[in-house]
Structure 1
Amino acid sequence: MVQRPANPQPVVLQNFRNFGFIGVGLYEAVRPGNKGAESLAPSLYQMPAMPQADAWQKYLWSESANAALASMFKLFLTGLSDANKASIDSMEMANYNRFKTSCTTDVLDRSQTFGRDIATAIYNWSLTDNFNLSSVGYVPPPVTPASWVPTPPAYAPPVGPFLKDSRPFLAYSLTDLAPPMPFPFSEDTSSRFYKAVKEVYDIGKNAKADQQATATWWADAGGPGVGIPIPHHVLSIITWVLENQKAKLWEAAEVYAKTGIAFKDGGINTFRSKFHYNLIRPVTYIRRNIDTAWMSYLITPPYPEYTSGLVGIHAPYVQVLIKQFGDIPVTDNAYDWRGLPARNYKSLSAMLDEAAVSRIYGGLHYRFTQEISIKFGKELGNEIAAIQLVSPKHEHP
């Protein structure tokens, strides 16, 4: 994991976006080898036609994937050192040499060239997506008691008000917006809103060790060599599922592509909703109305509360996995490199529920936000899962 020691760590939303493109590129690099498989280009918004393999020539699709991934890692992943890039090159060459024991050089080189051509085409397409996390030029709406305002301790300016204008992978995500809150904002102590906030406050004041551990597990925080750069936690879960289900190359590539679409569009739809509703964070409400000294266990990120950023990405990719494999048990061993025990879940849905509640334990979100965010994200996941890439007449080889 070349990004683990990076300092500073990769920007979360940008890294999700980048791995979204990498997933789509991986699929396109191996697609011609799967009989009946269609390019994603007709299904994705403004995706150009991809380079075509020569139907009369032989390819080794594992090498196409190898070359495409190595190229895309170097093109998309920010903050890589020369040593990181050399490590990627070394892994690519090791795979090439392993394939050479059972494949001719001309086939390998043709496959390598195709993979690299796909990587270049995907990267060039990515340059026009208008991805923007800056708040320069953003004019916030008039402040009301319900409004998000910068939060302690840093009181940082907002991140991502223009993310909604980024080109999504799905036309569906051009306008997707979460439903309104289930009840209105209120400072009345008998109101449902106040009670929702009070739950977050009470959990924070009386947090149990296991609740804090859960909040930390899903936060992936801690800095270089301590945390785990997002989305590597998510990718480790997806990879575990693929390995557990004994997925072959083409199915794995399709799943990485569809979950990658969830990474990018989940962020776009979530941030459109965040800045549309512009809802106050628990830490602000609590310090204003309940306890002036209260702080969230996790540092509150600099953008509005509703809907949930974490769930907005986890819910759609989990739904993609459920549609592909069923609501199967799952093991999350993302932190085995630190010697932490794996977490086992009876189902993908149970894992998603824990990820959602972790943000309540961390003091970042209200319970109603997490519940609605799950439903909102799953609707996107269903849209992604419905993309038909292989003709029903053909099965994955």
Structure 2
Amino acid sequence: MWKWILACLLICRPAYAQRTATAFANEVQPAVWAITMVMLHDVVNPAAAARYYAYCTAPAYEIITQHNGNMPRMSSFVKSYPAVTISGAKDDYNYEAAALYAILETGRLMLPSGFMLEEQEEKMLRFFKKEKLSQKEINRSVAVAKEVVAQIIGWSKADHYNQLSARIRYTPIKGEGYWYPTPPAYIEAVEPHWRTIRPMVIDTCDAFKPLPPVPFSKDTTSAFYALNKEVYEAVLHPKKEELVIASFWDCNPFAVSTAGHMAIGFKKITPGGHWMNIAGIAAKKANLDFDNTVLLHTLTAVTEMDAFISCWDEKYRSNRIRPETYINRYIDVEWKPLLQTPPFPEYTSGHSVVSTAAAQVLAYMMGDSFSFTDDSEIMFEIQPRSFTSFMQAAAEAAISRLYGGIHFRDAIENGQQQGMNIANAIIAKLKAAGVQPCVHNSMARYM
């Protein structure tokens, strides 16, 4: 009898309660996108962007876990995670409001132009009022957000990021097979010491070393020359679909176009920003509740951060030459890639590593066959693309680097394997911590 009454209460709960939950859940993606827009303004590099996403989502998830006992604490799968406390009573504030505000507040305090988020915070406060939160409840929720954010930012200061600027300036290695700055801007190496950043979940930066790259050679019969010829021909004779794919996954935070003595910079979101938005698209399509929406964003961010640390460790170990440099020297001096060559070594492909890692974790959380339409690039006048799974999207992101003329095939394929290994290790720790999928595979097939 009591079971039947309880079931009726759950089914017949007030409609406004469901609307409120949906309203708060729908604000997560815009909050993260606001972080993305500030990073776009600041031209934050891909590796650093992933770090910001991880720290901006962490306090939101922390607040949730202190209210939802079914959500494992981040300390159960994140290394060296601090003991976060919330002072005062836990029934005098709205934890969803506190979590949402925490995302913006972390970005405001950590990003170079974080002050730009103040307008978004004011907009968020108006949203809280619209959702019938009392002023007292709003004030307390904001106070809780700031309290947790302060603790997470304090923890972030021990990850060695603040020590990067004190390191010796990077000098390109001399030698024919090594990376050297590329045109048109000849930007110096980006984050050569990123391997020193403390990972979130993986044990060490070099725990997932990929297979060695194909050895450098100028011999026209060598395997390395063949890799270059493949990239060369792909750019000379592209198919229409390949051009579309290369453009869609460009994700270059700062490309420079020159005309005479004039140089114009073009900004885009990073690979990590693209996948954070995919996480938001998936959460919205699946109609996830607030807690799981934040969980999905947090796990995507944490995975991206570790994937970049692992990838950058390999980039500056192998320090491999870019296709543009090799082809201009030994094949065709006038050849140019379709996409602008990023300012760091070639091996492995960062987009391949990060996209595969993020996609695999998203597949664990949302199902192997979760279909979605990705409109992340529409603000750059690039049309949406539809995918039948996260891994299909990741595979397309990876091969886009060959179509764009900026990566060799072995950097792509071995990068994909590196990303898969990172994701599998993270998923194993999530399972051990008791993190449950948001959507079961059997349900995802019908979405």
TM-score between both structures, scaled by the size of structure 1: 0.88
Q: Give the Å deviation of 1:261.
A: 0.8
Q: 2:121: which partner in 1?
A: 89
Counterpart Cα distance in 1 of 2:66 and 2:427: 20
Counterpart Cα distance in 1 of 2:241 and 2:276: 24
**8 Å CA contact retained: 1:24, 1:258:** no
Q: 2:340: which partner in 1?
A: 299
Q: CA 1:196–1:392 in 2, change beyond 3 Å: closer, same or farther?
A: closer
Query: SS state of the match for residue 26, structure 1?
Result: helix
Q: Give the Å deviation of 1:393.
A: 11
The correspondence for 1:255, drawn from 290, 296, 309, is 296
Stretch deviating more after TM superposition (334-343 or 52-61)? 52-61
Q: 1:320: which partner in 2?
A: 361
Counterpart Cα distance in 2 of 1:395 and 1:151: 43
Q: Give the Å deviation of 1:384.
A: 2.1
Q: Give the Å deviation of 1:158.
A: 1.6
Q: 1:119: which partner in 2?
A: 149
The yes-or-no answer on 1:17 pairing with 2:48 is: no
Give the alignment of 1:36-51 within 5 angstroms.
Answer: 36-51=70-85
**8 Å CA contact retained: 1:32, 1:53:** no
The yes-or-no answer on 1:358 pairing with 2:394 is: no
Q: CA 1:356–1:133 in 2, change beyond 3 Å: closer, same or farther?
A: farther
The yes-or-no answer on 1:186 pairing with 2:186 is: no
The correspondence for 2:102, drawn from 58, 68, 74, is 68
Q: Give the Å deviation of 1:225.
A: 11
Stretch deviating more after TM superposition (344-353 or 86-95)? 86-95
Query: SS state of the match for residue 189, structure 2?
Result: coil
Deviations 1:216-264, CA, capped at 9 Å, x for gaps: 2211357799754334322221101111122112222222121111121
Provide runs of 4+ in structure 1 moved above 6 Å: 222-226, 393-396
Counterpart Cα distance in 2 of 1:208 and 1:220: 20
Q: 2:308: which partner in 1?
A: 267
Q: Which has the higher contact order (CA 8 A, sep 6+)?
A: 1
Stretch deviating more after TM superposition (194-203 or 1-10)? 1-10
Count the aligned residue pairs: 393
**8 Å CA contact retained: 2:71, 2:435:** no
Q: Give the Å deviation of 1:161.
A: 1.5
Q: CA 1:109–1:66 in 2, change beyond 3 Å: closer, same or farther?
A: same
Counterpart Cα distance in 2 of 1:375 and 1:116: 39
Query: SS state of the match for residue 203, structure 2?
Result: helix
Gaps of 5+ in 2: 1-32, 256-263, 439-447
Q: 2:387: which partner in 1?
A: 345
Q: 2:235: which partner in 1?
A: 204
**8 Å CA contact retained: 2:357, 2:419:** yes
The correspondence for 1:30, drawn from 64, 72, 77, is 64
Counterpart Cα distance in 2 of 1:185 and 1:142: 14
Q: 1:382: which partner in 2?
A: 424
Q: Give the Å deviation of 1:162.
A: 0.6
Q: Give the Å deviation of 1:68.
A: 1.0
What residue identity is the alignment partner of 1:125?
W
Q: 1:238: which partner in 2?
A: 279
Q: 1:286: which partner in 2?
A: 327
Query: SS state of the match for residue 310, structure 1?
Result: helix
Q: Give the Å deviation of 1:166.
A: 1.0
Counterpart Cα distance in 1 of 2:315 and 2:154: 29
Counterpart Cα distance in 2 of 1:167 and 1:309: 18
What residue identity is the alignment partner of 2:100?
N
Give the alignment of 1:121-136 within 5 angstroms.
Answer: 121-131=151-161
Q: Give the Å deviation of 1:53.
A: 6.2
Q: Give the Å deviation of 1:168.
A: 1.3
Stretch deviating more after TM superposition (90-99 or 191-200)? 90-99
Q: 1:160: which partner in 2?
A: 191
Q: Give the Å deviation of 1:62.
A: 1.3
Q: Give the Å deviation of 1:134.
A: 5.6
**8 Å CA contact retained: 2:356, 2:395:** no
Q: CA 1:53–1:373 in 2, change beyond 3 Å: closer, same or farther?
A: farther
Q: CA 1:145–1:135 in 2, change beyond 3 Å: closer, same or farther?
A: farther
Counterpart Cα distance in 1 of 2:308 and 2:212: 19
**8 Å CA contact retained: 2:61, 2:294:** yes
Counterpart Cα distance in 1 of 2:265 and 2:60: 27
The yes-or-no answer on 1:229 pairing with 2:269 is: yes
Q: 1:373: which partner in 2?
A: 415
